[in-house]
Amino acid sequence: MTPASGPGGSTRVPVSVPGLRERKQGGDRIVALTCYDAGFATCLESASIDLALVGDSLGMVVQGRASTLAVTLDDIVYHSRAVARGLDATLLVADMPFMSYRDVPTALATATRLMAEGDAAMVKLEGADWVLEIIDALARRHIPVCAHLGLTPQSVHRFGGFRVQGRSSVDAERLLADARAVADAGADLLVLECMPAELAAQITRAIAIPTIGIGAGAACDGQILVLHDVLGVTPGRRPRFTRDFLAGSGSVIAALAAYRDAVRSGEFPSAEHAY
C-alpha cells in the first residue's frame, strides 16, 4: 500500500478496514478519537491517530444539546465532509444519526450520503436485535459497518440516563450474545461503551472483529474518546473514563500524541477509568 502524504509532509500507510482486523490479530491497539472539523482533523492526522469518528456526540459538545437525538443526517454529512478535508491516512467513520437507519431502504440511503457526500469510509450505528437486518444489508452491499453496544446514547431515554450497562448477569449475557450477533451479521468493528471491564474483555475474546472501548476497560482492541474530553474543554463534570491529556502537554498535537502513546502502551485506560 502506498503511504499517504500527511498535512505536515510526513508519510503514513493509510489505515484500512481490513487492516483493523489485522491490528486485532497482531495485538496492535487501535487509537480513535471523535472529530468534527477540518482543523482538528489535521491535528489527528499529524498525531497519527488511526480512526476519526464524526460522532453524533457533536450534538452535545458542539451544539450544546442535552443528548444526541436532535442531530440530523445533514449535520453529520456537513461535519464529515469538513473532517475529510483534514485527513489523509486516518480512517474516517461517520455516525448514522437517530432514526436514520430505521429500515433497510432508509439505512442504505443514509449510508450512501455519508460515504458519497461525507467522504466516510465506514458508517456507525447503535444496537442489535432489529439492527442486525440493517447491518447485514449494508455489509452485503460492501458498506463497512461499525456497530455500537453497551451505553448507546440514542437509547438514553430507555436507559433512564447515561448509565453503565451489563452489570447484571442477565444483561451481560445479552450483550455478549449481541456482540456475537453483530459480528456474524457483517460488522467490521464494534464500539463497547460504559460496561464492566471484564465483560468487555470477554466480548473482545469471543469475536473476530476488533473492539473499541470507551469506558469499557483496557482489554479492548482499541480505545476512543470524545476529542473535547481529551483536551479538557468539556464543560461541567467529565465522565469517569476520560482524561485531560492537554494539561502539561503544551499543544493540541502533543496532547493527542500523548493519548495515542498511552493507548498503544496500555497505560490508558487504567483501573480508575474502568467500571
- Counting Cβ atoms within 10 Å, is residue 29 exposed (0-12), middle (13-18) or buried (19+)? buried
91-139 pLDDT per residue, tens: 999 999 999 999 999 999 999 999 999 999 999 999 999 999 999 999 9
- Give yes or no for a contact between 194 and 273, defined as CB atoms under 8 angstroms apart: no
Give the structural domain span for 105.
Answer: 4-273
The Cα 122–Cα 220 span in angstroms is 20
pTM for this predicted structure? 0.94
Kindly report the CATH number assigned to the domain that includes residue 141: 3.20.20.60
Q: What single-letter DSSP state applies at residue 50?
A: S
Provide the annotated active-site residues: 193
Check pLDDT > 90 for residue 240.
no
pLDDT in tens, 152-188: 989 887 777 778 899 999 999 999 999 999 999 999 9
The number of beta carbons lying within 10 Å of the beta carbon of residue 11 is 11
**Residue 146 pLDDT greater than 80, yes or no:** yes
Q: What are phi and psi of 130, to 5 degrees?
A: -65, -20
Q: Per-residue pLDDT tens for 1-49?
A: 445 544 444 489 999 999 999 999 999 999 999 999 999 999 999 999 9
- Looking at residue 153, its pLDDT comes to 86
Provide the domain count of the chain: 1
- Residue 2 is predicted with a pLDDT of 47
